[in-house]
Structure 1
């Protein structure tokens, strides 16, 4: 499973005020981000114009979609006051998106210095969350900001900060215990936190504790029946546990509520292949390739599925096409062995 510890809610931490109408729209957009409905969220945010809040959330959106250049572009557009804490935090996030950790730390430190004492917790929390949503592996700086935020909050646990703390510790090799403890603390703050339960499920999957993972995912789903990521991760968990029928039915539930995009369709095609539904996988793969003909994964799975479906006359040219498209470091040895059998 590709764990990305993102999808946190930021509105309560933003120090820039806005109208009630904007706040409501921003909350709607952020909910869409949590549900991984990125096109829906993007539309809602673009309708708000170039407000700092909208640009900040668009930066996060593109970071979640692993498009760092676009993320940095939107973070860099928050310039109504270049010395405001939010602008400096955004500049730090833009640097993180580009992989410039030193510049990010410089901007974050400037943001803290520019923050009034009564707003210190908000700024420190935003910085902690910025690290939580990044690919930074060295967590020392991030944890220092978490601790500073905790101090600024007079030692009181905050839901978003505890989730960020857990996500940061998940980046370290031996951080599982601290991470789980953070999510438990988040649930003391809010026992009905969908995200904290979801995060616990992900952590349990990583430790192969499937019973506890299922309990956490099902709790998240019971709190929000439309929380699509929990269905997807639960389906993957069933696959790891070799419960293929449950895996497929749960993934189909995910597909019924997830945003319809080429990406989600590609995930479904991959899942059909993994669970041995080769004819169905072929149909979905071919549908994805109609709109994204150069998708490397789908071209590889097309060749695999044709072979598994005993259509060797079509599998061989599909494999040859994939070999021409794929960089040398992307070619998987299995495709060579299948080509030899066709």
Structure 2
């Protein structure tokens, strides 16, 4: 057979085709390979999904709606609109878009994938699988866009993770430079709960390499390291995302969260301010910024946001709580009290913390509601008995109210949580014992205080007073050594300590006169009193009686 004379079009074996037809077939194959991802890489579609990524969904949806309006018969654009609607939580609208896409092209693999995606979200796995299989069937599993769409649908249910990974690996062999393929692979590996943590990061890094202007991979890498508490790398990744796209809102939000955990309040505030300036859907972030302002001690700005947040009848108890805290710090005491009352009314009893009652107690002290403050401190201590500051305030407030037994109990609790009592503890409980007329206990506390603080006068003075009450007849002279020790310290500044020095001289003079029967010795003490206070009645009376006696009556 002379093959050169056989018409190529009539060749039954198909071994020969015309050059023109060969060219057409090659072009068609190339078109299929490229068009598989045309719309995903379309600048308009990418721009629309960027808006969704940076939390500006209204702009993203509007851009896609305009694309659909300008191209009403384009089924692919309807799929991307539906996908955007799914990502923004509008499931019913998404389903309508996918069905409309199928009405334009009954062989649209993308829209079958979209319908399957919706069915999986509805937990209708049977219909979902049928729709997704149809998507692969009509596209012959060679369309990268469809492979991605089906894989993304499968990612909504972890039992299909391996199916998703297999499809994405197939897509990668068709087009290894598609950043979205690598992103979805990273998402799939991430859902395997750290089984492939390294491969997750590698996939996101490949996505970043495939499109250096794509901020999302760096953000995703940051999330992985943030979850692993490797915060320096997380921060670096978020900063890379922001360097690529200064409007990448989620990166600012996560930076704010990291800075909060690091107690870098000013940085947390700055990051959240930038986040809120970009995001259309901040959710609880506005409240979070108010909390960061509170943490940064910018109570005015915190309260401005809290005021807006707390007007909502469905406001969370947590928002009421921190608004009350912040108002307290700003000394807006009446407003703070009202906010605390709203909080205590709305919060579940088990959610109210020791800190809440402690804060409220401090506020009540500012409002001069001392008895109510003690009630609040008692509730706080019942929840956490190891709060030194609150136990101190609790005891001090009882002491101020002359509720000495209650003060003693509070100070005992305070001292029980210390390894060794502080000087302040001994001073506090010593006074409570003293004013409750428990003089031996007071003497013990003040004597310990004098030992701890030998250069301070107060321990000696109050120990002397306690001993004077124990030995009220002065018969044993118990107070004498302590008053003498007090004078050794106090005489270095007689003007400052004049009243207490006179008290010490008075005791020593009386003891010397009445117990020791030493008139001249007593006279020396009373002369010292008159040197400090010439009008002192006790000393003047002594001197007058002494003069009478010396004159014989």
- TM-score band by shorter chain is 0.7 to 0.9
Structure 1 position 45 matched with structure 2 position 64: yes
Given the alignment of the two structures, is residue 248 of structure 1 paired with residue 269 of structure 2, yes or no?
yes
Does 1:201 find its partner at 2:222? yes
Q: Shift in Å at residue 209 of structure 1?
A: 0.9
Match for residue 202 of structure 2 among 181, 190, 196: 181
| TM-score, length-scaled by structure 2 | 0.50
> In 1, distance between residues paired with 2:143 and 2:149?
10
Q: Deviations over 1:200-254 (max 9, x none)?
A: 1111111111111111111111112222222222222222333222111121122
Aligned equivalents of 2:122, 2:167: Cα separation in 1: 21
Alpha-carbon distance, 1:31 to partner:
2.5
1:96 aligns with 2:153: no
The reply on whether 1:315 has 2:340 as its aligned counterpart is yes
Contact 2:268–2:292 (CA<8 Å) still a contact in 1? no
- 8 Å contact kept, 1:200–1:213: yes
The question of whether the paired residues in 2 share the 8 Å contact of 1:270 and 1:281 is answered with: no
Q: 1:139 corresponds to which residue?
A: 161
Cα distance, 1:66 vs structure 2: 3.9
Report the equivalent of 1:271: 289
Alignment of 1:116-265 (within 5 A): 116=140, 119-132=142-155, 134=156, 136=158, 139-153=161-175, 156-174=176-194, 175-256=196-277, 258-259=278-279, 261=280, 263-264=281-282
Q: Determine the structure 2 residue equivalent to 1:8.
A: none
- SS of match in other structure, 1:208: coil
> Which digits, 9 at most, give the CA deviation of each residue in 1:121-161, with x for residues without a partner?
332122223345x36465222212222323444xx353110
Higher relative contact order (CA 8 A, sep 6+): 1
Question: Structure 2 CA distance, aligned partners of 1:89 and 1:303?
Answer: 47
Q: In structure 2, how many angstroms separate the alpha carbons of the residues matched to 1:183 and 1:25?
A: 23
Unaligned runs of 5+ in 2: 1-32, 329-335, 361-553
Residues in 1 aligned to 2:350 and 2:34: alpha-carbon distance in whole angstroms: 48
Q: Deviation digits for residues 26-58 of structure 1, max 9, x if unmatched?
A: 443222112210122222333333654454334
- Structure 2 CA distance, aligned partners of 1:278 and 1:332? 27
Q: Distance in 2 between matches of 1:34 and 1:242?
A: 28
**What do the CA deviations read for 1:243-282 (whole angstroms, capped 9, x no partner)?**
22211112112223x14x4x42741222321552554333
Q: C-alpha separation between the residues in 2 aligned to 1:218 and 1:98?
A: 37
Which deviates the most, 224-233 or 185-194? Answer: 185-194
Consecutive unaligned residues of structure 1, counting only runs of 5 or more, are 1-11, 324-330
1:265-322 deviations in Å (ceiling 9; x for gaps): 74122232155255433322332465xx35444x5413432245331222222453x4
Worse overlay, 71-80 or 216-225: 71-80
Gap change, CA 1:231 and 1:37, over 3 Å in 2: same
Q: CA separation of 1:332/1:142 partners in 2, compared to 1, >3 Å: closer, same or farther?
A: farther
Paired with 2:349 and 2:288, the residues of 1 have a C-alpha distance of 16
Q: Could you say if the C-alpha distance between residues 307 and 334 of structure 1 is closer, same or farther in structure 2, counting changes exceeding 3 Å?
A: farther
Shift of 1:163: 0.8
1:14-53 alignment runs, 5 A limit: 15=36, 25-47=44-66, 48-49=68-69, 52-53=75-76
Give 2:365's aligned residue: none
Distance 1:56-1:306 versus aligned 2 partners, 3 A rule:
farther
Within the alignment, does 1:64 sit opposite 2:87 as a pair?
yes
Q: CA deviation at 1:98?
A: 1.9
Instruction: Tell me how far apart the structure 1 counterparts of residues 282 and 85 of structure 2 sit (CA, whole Å).
Output: 16
* CA–CA distance in structure 1, aligned partners of residues 77 and 355 of structure 2: 49
Q: Distance in 2 between matches of 1:306 and 1:136?
A: 43
CA spacing shift, 1:41–1:332, aligned 2, 3 Å: farther
Is residue 270–residue 301 contact of structure 1 (8 Å, CA) maintained in 2? no
| Structure 1 residue aligned with 2:351 | 334
What SS does the corresponding residue of 1:36 show, helix, strand or coil?
Answer: coil
Pick aligned residue for 2:322 from 299, 304, 310: 304
- Going from structure 1 to structure 2, the CA distance change for 1:314 and 1:296 (only over 3 Å counts) comes to closer
Aligned length: 309
Q: How big is the shift at 1:103?
A: 3.0
CA-atom RMSD, angstroms? 3.2
Shift, 1:194, TM fit: 1.6
Cα distance change, pair 235–137 in 1 and its aligned pair in 2 (3 A)? farther
Q: 1:78 to 1:336 in 2, by over 3 A?
A: farther
Supply the distance in 2 between the matched residues of 1:99 and 1:107 (Cα, whole angstroms).
Answer: 13
Match of 1:84 in 2: 108
